[in-house]
Amino acid sequence: MPRRTVRSTVPKRLVRAAVAARRRAYAPYSKFAVGAAVLAADGTVFTGCNVENASYGLSVCAERVAILTAVAAGRRRLRAATTPCGACRQVMDEFGVETVILAPAGRTPAAVPLRELLPLPFAKRALRGRPRHAGL
C-alpha cells in the first residue's frame, strides 16, 4: 500500500500529543527525548515518553509506554500510532494497530500501513497448538 499524505485531524492530534509527551521524557543518558501517541479504537489518545535507566536494557521506549498505558486503561484495540522502533512495531501488531503516522520534523506527516513497516510479524497464530507450560 503506498504512503499517503495525511490531512485529517487525527494524525495532527497524535503528533501534537507525542510532542507534548516528549517534554516528559526521562533521558539523562542519551539526551534523546522521545514522545509517542496511540489512538484507541474508541478515539481516545494515549501518550508515552521514553524512560531510560542506567542499565540500558531496562529502558522503555515511548511507543511501548503509550501502548501499555492504553492497555492499563482497558483499551486493547488500537488503530494508529506515531513512528515506532522495530520492537514497538511488534507490540503494535499485538494490539491491532493498522496505521502508523510518520512525522519527521519539519515535514508533512504521512500515514503508512503497519504491514508495510512490519510485513511478517510474529503473530499469536504461530503459538497455536503449542503446549502451554505453567510458570514455576
> Tell me: the pLDDT tens digits for 5-15?
444 777 889 99
Domain contains 71: yes
Catalytic residues: 63
Supply the CATH number for residue 101's domain.
Answer: 3.40.140.10
- Contact of 116 with 101, CB cutoff 8 Å: no
Domain contains 130: no
Over residues 24-79, the pLDDT tens digits come to: 999 999 999 999 999 999 999 999 999 999 998 999 999 999 999 999 999 999 99
pTM for this prediction:
0.80
Place of cell 499485538: 94
User: Number of folded domains in the chain?
Assistant: 1
Domain contains 132: no
Phi and psi based region of residue 16 (left: phi greater than 0; alpha: psi -120 to 50; beta: remaining): alpha
Domain contains 126: no
- Contact of 39 with 14, CB cutoff 8 Å: yes
Domain contains 136: no
Domain contains 122: no
Domain contains 127: no
Cα 34–Cα 40–Cα 44 angle in degrees, nearest 5: 85
Boundaries of domain holding 77: 4-117
Domain contains 99: yes
